[in-house]
Structure 1
């Protein structure tokens, strides 16, 4: 039963839903006589402009686990959690300059497809199964659970029904149109997300500042919870295990970010769908600046909640509780922006799951001769089944964690060192073999489990960096034990253009300058 939204809020929410569905079906329509094929459905006919690429990257990334989860982490740890966002901005420029040109030159649909082109089919199949499992059991479940948590806190709707509602709504506008529907609705979704996030931050600071405005509210926040404004935590901080000091700048976070932004299907798929490499790089630059902005939208509300509503448990309730401070009308806008973020990210993951299953499992193993129309239908069925599975397992898997964002980071950290090594060696080391790639991937999991078991006091981010180094050494040993020869499938980098346009380079310098200023102020 809805207890916090009135008729005005519900009208805004209904208008949002209608506009979104209209956009999805409008952009997904096909010309007379043209039947949607695999490239249309999974890569939007490779027609996305830069602004759609950039906003879609953010929409795929910023969802419940970011808004609710990072606000909860901001409540517990302060702005130190913003390092995930700000280091991501720099990582995006690295991806755009050095990784994306290779992917686009290879004309791939999926990340496992690249691994087969560079190594062999074993690597492709193993990684396809891994990513499908991760996306369904971690990504989809976390989005549904945390999204439902926020909806329950604001409206009183029971979490199970909220999860079902999110899944059905996402299904309604994204399953038919595929990537094109997802990407163009993302433009609308991100606009609403930024507007709603800025509103809740503004009103939160205004409440703290009273009659003296938001600037006074921010300075009051600095005075009342100064411990929340340390970007680099020291070992005495209770959140040091999650954000271990200088490691957020020079350690395992780089490995985490490269894995997420460079080799993650539901992220990279957006850039692969761009009109050209240059359009994709412009989109990446836009996404980088939006990442710089994101802590104001997703972290600062959590810090404000620490001052306004102390004693919250779990801390992931910080953002939903802050939403309750909003007057009707504005509450409707912010609530619609939260639903937009959840559904945008949900549809992005579902589309990538359907792409992975269809192109890397079904077409590769089950029915290589499948027609284009058949592959599109298989993709829709795979998307539907993945949503159903996520609905069933969301509560048991995610509901036990106080800080779901940290749970997701900790879990994925078991795999990321091996994934990053597979790709980096595949790109830049001609001697790397398929066996060494598999050794890196399997060792990453085993070593991470061993460190977790026998050295539980080691912060997970430090563990990521250490495992990365050990796996690299093992992969090199295996490669040279097999002869250490250049591989037949090694990439010829001489035929790939890594030169970027001046506007891209200037944008990169701008982000670095901004971040140096931030870390200088709040070191």
Structure 2
């Protein structure tokens, strides 16, 4: 369990992060923090902050604890969520970011109003608020508190409170700037801690004869855990249905998350310019390639060492207990870093959507308060709601990561249809977009009830195609004319730098090698 030196390491991390956040959030004399400063970091983020913040926001308790749990049950196949995300990021940087930055937007709902109408903006704004608070924020808090309890023995309630207070304390004043500029520290700590635990656990597996020997022994003792493309007779096929992870519904899941998710894309919207945003995207793509070492490998190793854990999500916390004093504190600090970074990012995105999309629609201009003040109040309220609802919503799931993917899979097909058709088909109407959004949830529910054997990733792909057809039919019935807010692609340059193109090629080659090795 935790020793004095472990507590000292965690304490030093917490104090350092808090002070750093306050330092980067400071304002020039006479300058008043406005909405652009608070929600988009003054549109001055450099590439390294964008890339680090993308990963720090993404890799949290739901990834580290949840994906390690899925690695324990499924194996390396779950790494497809990470590796395919690297390629998805490249596509987002080349084809989607130029459109968003050209529109000079703060939020995804704002783009939807520019392209469609106010109804679409409001529907999606309220939807995202609900998902961010009751799915994402609650899962980060709950799994983080579980990890704290497993490693230190702290009561769950105290763990939840400590995470919420700490995350609010370091991010509330500075907003996105505080989150993004401290995330480079968070990512360094996360990677160092993740590689440290992988090193220790592989050494233990090999009997201290070497890391590569330990990895080879994992493949020898549990070869079924190293199948990237699962066969239909695999007991976990329903979670990862074979080739669909490469050509099916996982693309819809990834594009929705990395391309149309306020929580993620907000970092790129705060870039100095398109070139800086694309460099940050490439940086994040390379980091995603190594993430399975941190979030999947410990789960596989724990299966080999202890295949009788009471819950798969105990795999990572159990692995942490194997670490020596001091190093355990460092790895625990890395886990806390991932959790509080995601909490800070999530609450900032929640406050951005409420303040920029919902608040102006219900409060007259002469009665509105300072948007920065409103944003801070909303961030606190969101955290309080998540604290209260975390246990009732997530207390009964043993693979929280799979629960999150399954739930979001009800809505991602419609989200992708709304954005893709809004960007690339000028005749898509607002009614067609709303039909796709509503149809996504309805069709997903119908298929889940009527066809329970259908893998949810396949369901996502099928529902996406049906929602495209629905949006097309309704748009054509309404006249099939070019819409007033249609995106003029001729005014947008999709040309990327030589460095971006080279990086994209390297990512593709690495992915091809990985899948060829563990097909």
Instruction: Give the TM interval when normalised to the shorter protein.
Output: over 0.9
Matched, 1:356 2:353: yes
| 1:436 aligned residue (432, 439, 442) | 432
Q: Which residue of 2 aligns with 1:252?
A: 249
Deviations 1:207-245 (A, max 9, x none): 001131111101111100111000000111111111011
Distance 1:39 1:338 in 2: 30
Q: Which residue of 2 aligns with 1:74?
A: 71
Deviations 1:296-341 (A, max 9, x none): 1110000000011111121000000000000000001000000000
Q: Which residue of 2 aligns with 1:231?
A: 228
| 2:406 aligned residue (405, 410, 413) | 410
Residues 335-374 of structure 1: pairs in structure 2 closer than 5 A: 335-369=332-366, 374=370
| 2:59 aligned residue (52, 57, 62) | 62
Q: Which residue of 2 aligns with 1:41?
A: 38
Indicate how the Cα distance of structure 1 residues 421 and 300 shifts in structure 2: closer, same or farther if over 3 A, else same: same
Matched, 1:505 2:501: yes
Q: Unaligned 5+ residue runs, structure 1? A: none
Q: Which residue of 2 aligns with 1:326?
A: 323
Matched, 1:19 2:20: no
Indicate how the Cα distance of structure 1 residues 292 and 369 shifts in structure 2: closer, same or farther if over 3 A, else same: farther
Secondary structure at the counterpart of residue 409 of structure 1: helix
Q: Is residue 362–residue 368 contact of structure 1 (8 Å, CA) maintained in 2?
A: no
Q: Is residue 363–residue 369 contact of structure 1 (8 Å, CA) maintained in 2?
A: no
Residues 27-426 of structure 1: pairs in structure 2 closer than 5 A: 27-369=24-366, 374-426=370-422
| 2:489 aligned residue (489, 493, 501) | 493
Q: Is residue 413–residue 464 contact of structure 1 (8 Å, CA) maintained in 2?
A: yes
Secondary structure at the counterpart of residue 193 of structure 1: helix
Moved more, 230-239 or 123-132: 230-239
TM-score, normalised via structure 2 length = 0.99
The alpha carbon displacement at 1:364 in A equals 2.8
Matched, 1:478 2:465: no
Q: Which residue of 1 aligns with 2:444?
A: 448
Secondary structure at the counterpart of residue 237 of structure 2: coil
Distance 2:473 2:212 in 1: 57
The alpha carbon displacement at 1:279 in A equals 0.3
Q: How many residues align?
A: 519
Distance 2:365 2:184 in 1: 35
Q: Unaligned 5+ residue runs, structure 2? A: none
Distance 1:369 1:296 in 2: 53
TM-score, normalised via structure 1 length = 0.98
